Amino acid sequence: MEETKVRVRAFLARYLQNYDLQDDQDIFSLGFINSLFAMQLVLFVEKDFGVDVNNEDLDIDNFRTINAIAALVERKSTHQTQRAS
């Protein structure tokens, strides 16, 4: 999961320049995120990690922190791997 966090952190750093975001820090409460960026974040997760983000996954809590995003990716990756087997 650490590699996932590194990749998520790098993506967010491109948009939150000069801000040292912690893994458990709520990115939405910081005021940096708007609805357009939220969609970019979903697309990043789908494209970069090769997972499908379904409607039921579009809960803000799944994208609120680096930890939450990494957990979503791990959960979706495991689910998709099991389904493919």
Q: Domain containing 20 — which CATH number?
A: 1.10.1200.10
Which structural domain range is residue 59 located in? Answer: 2-84
pLDDT tens-place string over residues 28-76: 998 877 888 999 999 999 999 999 999 999 999 999 999 999 999 999 9
pTM of the model: 0.88
Judged against a pLDDT cut of 90, whether residue 17 lies above it is answered with no
Our count of domains for the chain comes to 1
Backbone region of residue 54 per phi and psi (left: phi > 0; alpha: psi in -120 to 50; beta: other values)? beta
52: which 2 tokens? Answer: 């499908």
Q: How confident is the model at residue 18 (pLDDT cuts 50, 70, 90)?
A: confident
E strands, the chain, where?
Answer: none
- Predicted local distance difference test score (pLDDT) of residue 45: 98
Contact criterion met (CB below 8 Å) for 50 and 82: no
